[in-house]
Amino acid sequence: MENITIDLKASVPALAKSDDKTKIDVRYALLPPYAFAHIYWDSKENELIYELEEPVLNEEEHAMFDRLEINMREIININVLEERTPEAMIEYIDNSTKLLIDELGIKINEDSYRKIFYYLFRNFIGLNEVEPLTRDYFIEDIECNGINTPIYIIHRVYRNVKTNIVFKDVEKLASFVEKLAQRCGRYISYANPLLDGTLPDGSRINATYTADVTSRGPTFTVRKFTKVPWTPTQLIAFNTASPEMLAYFWLLIQYKSNILITGGTASGKTTLLNALAFFIPPEARVVSIEDTKEISLQRENWLPSVARTAIGVGKAGEVDMFSLLKNSFRQNPDYVIVGEVRGKEAFVLFQGMASGHSSISTMHADSVDTVIKRLETPPIELSPTLVNTLDAVAIMSHAIVKKEQTRKLRSIVEVVKVNPDGVAFTNTPFSWNPADDKFYFKKDSKVFDKIMIRYGLTKEEIQKEFELRTKLLFEMFKRKIFGFERVQREINDYYKNPEAVLARYSVSINQAT
């Protein structure tokens, strides 16, 4: 039999949005030539269905697969396997399977072997039934709510869609959750039934293990990791933020302001944080702190840190965000990025802001008032006056625009003053109006006033720079400059030679007034 190949980098098709979901009928490759996605309107169910198409095994092939899989577990060292390249892993599984077939005396034809090999690859190298979904560029989240209920996905184009994948056996689902934990380097059991971890590819995993915790049995959610973060120009293209908003943040970051990004779950907080990180000056030293890895910066002078949970009884080996953050300020960072503020690390973060370390972080909150309430109540218990070190709060939210779910930078709120009793005085220079789906801004920025005082700039100078960067970002968007490396290079070049970059995009310095 010939050596087997699986295309692990299937091309990404262009999928058009449709106002009429009943007309949707698309099919594209996930793991060609074996696994495909078929998305179509099911008139019986009266909803959109994501059907995973995989090779169909007959009864004899099922028996051969079960026999090979059991024997394969005895000869394969998963830890050694994971250290190899994908191509080397495929070759290893191929050679091991052929060796077993000879030893067991199994008679098998070429077609049956290829189908069985796919399932061995999927179960040993990949994540079993879910593996093809992890290969789908368009899928953001994979959600399993327990046994005997379909897995749902969040699709970039079609949003929430039901799949044809169902776990029907509670022990099989529990075994899969254990596998997720192992891949995350974590431990899950009846005694510790909750899992929050990160897969080797950066995808975030949240899972439960027992029916005592979730009544339908074990559950899991995979939030897929975007290896290359969205660029500022892509956020303009998605109409998530306006060029003015991003130019504003560019200035704030250059002049070492403190920014907090807030919003609900999956509202785009980390996406915005990664995009804003493009504006950090190229020579600056950046330290990032997270409990699960989501921040992705393509820069050399970056020290990423991830918290580590305890192993076994007690808290042996635990390194929490508080310890990491406290340690990070001894590493002389120019910028500190904290993935999400939840607990006592907030005190260290705001103390760092007060001592002059520019910081960017995220928090679950929908307004400045909610931020202050969360900060001053347990488990954080921060003095409200420390919030005065914060310059601006970016509020992200889900929105329905033209019957489509989108993410919007709903408003940017500047913190002018916070009294000891927690009453905040704010200024809102930027906001999104859902009535006409447009962004509005006013020229009165209190943070710009702070920057002018700190750095000795005139109002005309900062206003001119704001307008130039707005025009530059808009020109880059119009010319479809979306690639990560290109956008980062243009921003870095602007710090070194702004006149040359502006000339490259035909933005005249005299255009800004």
SS (H, E, C) 349-365: HHHHHHCCCEEEEEEEC
Q: What is the mean pLDDT of residues 236-257?
A: 97
List all residues 6 or more positions away from 301 whose beta carbon is below 8 Å from its beta carbon. Answer: 283, 284, 285, 286
For 377, counting Cβ atoms within 10 Å of its Cβ (0-12 exposed, 13-18 middle, 19+ buried), the class is: exposed
- On the 0-12 / 13-18 / 19+ scale of CB atoms within 10 A, 309 is middle
Q: Which of 33-47, 73-87, 317-331 has the highest average model confidence (pLDDT)?
A: 33-47
pLDDT of 54 strictly over 90? yes
Burial of 495 (C-beta count, 10 Å sphere; 0-12/13-18/19+): middle
Those residues whose C-beta lies under 8 Å from the C-beta of residue 491, and which sit 6 or more positions away, are 250, 278, 279
- Cβ atoms of 133 and 18 within 8 Å: the answer is no
The average pLDDT across 387-411 equals 90
**Over 70: is that where the pLDDT of 143 sits?**
yes
Alpha-carbon span 165 to 176, nearest angstrom = 14
Overall average pLDDT of the 14-31 stretch: 90
Which residues make up the CATH 3.30.450.380 domain(s) of the chain?
A: 1-131, 138-225
Mean pLDDT for the stretch of residues 231-235: 96
Kindly tell me if the per-residue pLDDT of 234 is higher than 60. Answer: yes
Q: State residue 154's pLDDT score.
A: 93
Dihedral, CA atoms, 95, 97, 98, 101, nearest 10 degrees? 160
Q: Which of 52-61, 322-331, 436-445 shows the lowest per-residue confidence on average (mean pLDDT)?
A: 322-331
Residue 62 has pLDDT above 80, yes or no: yes
- pLDDT band of residue 135 (cuts 50, 70, 90) is very high
If one counts every other C-beta atom within 10 angstroms of the C-beta of residue 227, the result is 11
Q: Which fold has domain 138-225?
A: Beta-Lactamase (3.30.450)
Residue 57: pLDDT over 90: yes
Q: Note whether 374 and 242 are within 8 A (CB).
A: no
pLDDT(490) > 80: yes
Topology adopted by domain 1-131: Beta-Lactamase (3.30.450)
Which ranges in 15-109 belong to alpha helices (H)? Answer: 59-75, 78-82, 86-104
Question: Tell me, what's the pLDDT at 44?
Answer: 92
Overall average pLDDT of the 245-268 stretch: 95
Note the pLDDT of residue 36. 97
- For residues 44-52, average pLDDT: 95
User: Residue 259's CB: how many other CB atoms inside 10 A?
Assistant: 23
For 174-194, give one letter per residue: b (16+ CB within 10 A) or e: bebbbebbebbebbbeeeebe
pLDDT exceeds 50 at position 513: no
Asked whether the predicted pLDDT for residue 405 surpasses 80, the reply is: no
Evaluate the CA torsion angle 106, 109, 115, 120 in order and state its sign: positive
Distance CA 324, CA 256 (A): 21
Adjacency order of strands within the sheet including 139-144 = 25-31, 35-42, 47-53, 159-166, 150-155, 139-144, 219-223, 204-208, 194-198
List phi, psi (to 5°) of 355. Answer: -90, 10
Instruction: Give the Cα-Cα-Cα angle 466, 470, 476 (nearest 5 degrees).
Output: 145
Question: Which pair of tokens denotes residue 258?
Answer: 């403190």
Predicted local distance difference test score (pLDDT) of residue 2: 65
Tokens of 306: 């991830």
From-to residues of CATH 3.40.50.300 in the chain: 232-440
The Cα–Cα gap between 294 and 185 comes to 16
Supply the pLDDT for residue 269: 94
Q: How far apart are CA 79 and CA 302, in angstroms?
A: 29
Task: Specify the length of the chain in residues.
Answer: 513
CB under 8 Å to 328, separation ≥6 — which residues? 287, 289, 303, 305, 336
Contacts of 386 (CB under 8 A, 6+ apart): 347, 350, 351, 354, 375
CATH class of the domain defined by 232-440: alpha beta
Q: Which residue has the higher pLDDT, 42 or 196?
A: 42
Buried b (16+ CB within 10 A) or exposed e, 330-357: eeebebbbbbbbeebbbbbbbbbbeeeb
Under the banding of pLDDT at 50, 70 and 90, the label for residue 79 is low
- pLDDT band, residue 474 (cuts 50/70/90): very high
Q: Does 7 score more than 90 pLDDT?
A: no
DSSP calls for 147-186: TTSEEEEEETTTEEEEEEEE---HHHHHHHHHHHHHHHT-
Mean pLDDT computed over every residue of the chain: 90
φ/ψ of residue 148, rounded to 5: 60, 30
Cα distance between residue 227 and residue 268, in whole Å: 15
Q: What are the pLDDT digits (tens) for 177-219?
A: 999 999 988 889 988 899 988 888 888 899 999 877 888 999 9
In the chain, pLDDT over 90 holds for what percent of residues?
Answer: 63
